[in-house]
Structure 1
Amino acid sequence: MLTKMKQMLRNEKGFTLVELLAVIVILGIIVTIAVPAIGNIISDAEGDAEDAQEELILDAARLADVQGDFESGTTTVGDLVTDDYLEDRIEDEDGDGTKEFDKSKVIYKDGATYTFTNPTK
């Protein structure tokens, strides 16, 4: 009976409480570092997507200008979609009503229209 007890004590399987706590602390440190980093990556990606969207609008407006569809110096994204310069409407994600570009301005109106004003016309 005594030898059986000694064998059971020697046959240690599993983890101690200290080992489990150490793993929990290490995981907590990793999460503390990773969550803000992932948040920054997502934020940067959203900014890059918005920049690409703005560049797409500008390129479509410039193309319309070069092809002579820019009569008054102002066009809308709706016009660019109608004239097949853009495939889809653009939404104002930050809700402030405007988007600033280099030397030009795009104004969001009535929930569906951007107006691109060409500063050279």
Structure 2
Amino acid sequence: MKVAIASDDGKKVASHFGRAKGFVVCEIEEKEVKQRDYIPNTFTGHARGLHQGDHGHSHGAAHGRSHAGILEALKDVKVVISHGMGRNLYEDLTQAGKDVYVTDKVNIDEVLVLFVEGKLSHIESLLH
């Protein structure tokens, strides 16, 4: 199973999934991390600076369409993890069949251990 963790540096969990500079993508088999790669975020509008200020950006129904790039880029990922996330993206990811965890943990190694052990909690209040 593939897991994507939002990260700006490959070590800490980013505070906002869509604005993260990249993602640590791990292949997990039999409760063990088999492969770990860092993929730069070139597919979200926020990361590319397209949503600075208001500039017509809406968090209404049209906003969901802007998530097409991230949904496509992470199509092979089953689980996504972040330290914060917008509610619209959360809903789009869950509707796409992803398991989503928004956690208060910031160390990626700790998050991976908790996830593999089945002890990582989703904290609803961290959604914005």
- TM-score normalized by structure 1? 0.30
- TM-score normalized by structure 2? 0.29
Greater relative contact order (Cα < 8 A, sep 6+)? 2
Structure richer in strand, relative to its length:
2
Structure number with greater Rg is 1
